[in-house]
Amino acid sequence: MKDFLEKLQDVETIKDEKQVKLMAPLALAYIGDAIFEVFIRNYLINKSNAGVHQLHKNTVTYVKAKAQAEIVHQLENQLTEDEWGAVKKGRNQKSASAPKNADLIDYKYATGFEALLGYLFYTGRIDRLVEIMEKSVEIINKG
């Protein structure tokens, strides 16, 4: 997965810290959501030989707002100040849509989690991005 993420990045993708901090938090969440979804789908496909319907049901367990909010709360003490800042920026954004199947607070923290992933991706911190996603899987599997 790390190789895949590195291949997604070209010279123009990696930005300096200042540029990333100026990006719209919802844009960071947008890419973070996609990265996490691909990570989880790949994890589940490699873990089992389930059909697509079952893979989708299993994927939802990891990517739903409640799960991502739980991940963020469990990781909070392990995040750097800058990483937690990315979470807070994403969490505090006003979304154009209301959550359909989630509590508003969980939805906001999930957006913060996704913004963190986007922040790590755009700053080129792929090792840390993969580490956090792997910890996320452990958190959900324990729960």
pLDDT at 117: 97
Confidence of residue 8 (pLDDT cuts 50, 70, 90): low
33 assigned to active site: yes
The separation between CA 120 and the C-alpha centre of its own chain, rounded to angstroms, equals: 9
* pLDDT one-digit tens code per residue, 91-136: 998 776 666 777 889 999 999 999 999 999 999 899 999 999 999 9
3 vs 63: CA distance, rounded Å:
22
The separation between CA 82 and the C-alpha centre of its own chain, rounded to angstroms, equals: 15
pLDDT at 138: 97
Exactly one of 3, 10, 16, 33 is catalytic; which is it?
33
124 vs 72: CA distance, rounded Å:
20
Percent of the chain with pLDDT over 90: 75
**Total domains present in the chain:** 1
CATH of the domain at 84: 1.10.1520.10
Note whether 48 and 61 are within 8 A (CB): no
The separation between CA 26 and the C-alpha centre of its own chain, rounded to angstroms, equals: 12
Type of residue found at 51: G
The separation between CA 8 and the C-alpha centre of its own chain, rounded to angstroms, equals: 16
Residue-number span of the structural domain to which 105 is assigned: 2-142
Q: How far is CA 141 from CA 70, 71, 106, in A?
A: 12, 11, 18
